Amino acid sequence: MSNPAVLGVDSSTQSCKVEIRDLATGRLLGSGSSPHPPAFPPVAEQHPNEWVAAFVAATGMAMAACDQRPEIRAISVAAQCHGMVLLDEHGDVLRAAKLWNDTTGAPNLTRLVDRIGARRWVMRIGTLPTAAFTIAKLAWVAENEPRLLDRLATILLPHDYLTYWLTGEKVTDRSDASGTGYFDATDGLWIPSYLELAAGSREWAATLPTVLGPADAAGTVLPARAEQLGIGADVLVGAGGGDQHAAYLGLGLTDGDLYFSIGTSGVVATSSRGPVFDTTGAVDGVADMTGGYLPLMSTLNAARVVDRAAVLLGTDLAGISALALAAGPTQGPVVAPFLDGERTPDRPDARGAIADVTSRTTREELARAFVEGPLLSLMSGRDSLADCGVDTSGAATVVGGGARSPATLQLLADLLGDEVTVPDVDEATARGACIQAAAVASRTDRAGLVDLAKRWHPDARARVTPRAHGRDLGALRTRWAQLAASPVLEGGAQ
């Protein structure tokens, strides 16, 4: 007898990851992963057909990994935020999708901020958009590929597109919509007038997807898609959501808990019941996947900084971690980790920098500086959350590829002066998508979704406490802030 199960999808910049979980218990039954083509700023693009191919391949792997064939009752898709997918009247993709880390729209975004007004924009949507946001990408297309917009019928986000591929329905959710630059999450309304300012006058409202609630069903999987995926008929599909939003849901975290995601990008976030409006632009007051809000600070440069350090110091990631942990109780060099521009602070043309190198600087200190640089960015983000009146007193949870680095965990615990926990979860985003899918399959409401997330709360894989390190971390943070704000970082050589 087959197990009733749900399928959760994480379509990230790097790959598509799929988890299949038991509908009743949340137990992992099988998983699979398939890569996406690499994409790097300033022009970071992928064709949605490549997401579909990876989704199909990853689902096949996950199904094959199950001990017995599961009966999939519902699917939910989470994916990278801010990307832009343009469809024509037939539902065909007009061009490769611009991804969140495509920064070509930075000049367009600057002009839009001047037109709309930074404070007005923040107070309307909760966020001051950067070049990562969908509206900047649309403005770039309007300027550089204007004839394309004459054929435009629909604007979707990456997770919306995969939901559309599954169901034929053009829908989205609050979490991902709130990262476009033209959605008011508090009132639940699109803002077509902002699109007019970005890309000219047309019937923008008709191009935008329907925004569903946290536990709403988008529809059922089309028969042809079900056959491609190797699943049965009448499978429900949830509204989906943004990747970080799904990860927070998947970890069962609550208001005040600190969520650190250290992957290609870096994120620090917590949840709140009320909206957050940060006129400095540091905090994105986006919506979450439960009907509340997920104020967060996001950076472009996180784990990739350590990857580059491994190359420069002639070692591997394990070697960098060992070197960083072996550094003595010195202040040492400081790294501003803006290798490929930066999103927060909004410096798309910035470059990385190393300061305070002396004739006594060691490889160990350099390694530590490269590991600490992205963490200091995230600590700045935590301060920004607190400055907005958001509760950040809860426990710290770390996910992402960076959580596999002992040095990253230890240095973060040192900076926080508190314990950090690594949950026993390989794919928090796919897990969160599974939770939403389970709520849809159970036909529950928002409250039922939240209760389900708490019941599926994962155990801890590791806990790391602060060391008696002998360093003045307050002075280190002050020095980092000075370097990060330096105009010298702008416009360096490639």
Contact 330, 317 (CB under 8 A): no
Sequence-distant (6+) residues with CB within 8 A of 244 are 81, 259, 261, 267, 269, 294, 296, 298, 429
Neighbours of 1 (CB within 10 A): 5
Say how far apart CA 252 and CA 247 lie, in whole Å: 9
Contact 78, 432 (CB under 8 A): yes
Angle of the 406-416 helix axis to the 473-484 helix axis, nearest 10:
100
Q: How far is CA 108 from CA 134, 201, 207, 434, 473, in A?
A: 12, 16, 21, 37, 38
Say how far apart CA 222 and CA 219 lie, in whole Å: 9
50, 300, 249, 284: which is closest to 161 by C-alpha? Answer: 50
Sequence-distant (6+) residues with CB within 8 A of 304 are 264, 339, 340
Output the six-digit token pair for 356: 């305070």
Say how far apart CA 195 and CA 55 lie, in whole Å: 31
CA Rg value for the chain = 22
Sequence-distant (6+) residues with CB within 8 A of 347 are 338, 341, 489, 490
**Cis-peptide into 295, omega within 30 deg:** no
Contact 472, 41 (CB under 8 A): no
Output the six-digit token pair for 238: 């949830």
**Class of residue 30 by CB neighbours under 10 A (exposed 0-12, middle 13-18, buried 19+):** buried
Say how far apart CA 438 and CA 62 lie, in whole Å: 17
Catalytic choice (10, 176, 243, 288): 243
Say how far apart CA 214 and CA 248 lie, in whole Å: 14
- Does residue 88 carry a catalytic annotation? no
Contact 275, 291 (CB under 8 A): no
Neighbours of 158 (CB within 10 A): 29
Which pairs from 115-123 meet CB under 8 Å and 24+ separation?
115/197, 116/194, 116/197, 118/279, 118/281, 119/279, 121/181, 122/277, 122/278, 122/279, 122/281, 122/285, 123/277, 123/279
Catalytically active residues, by annotation: 243
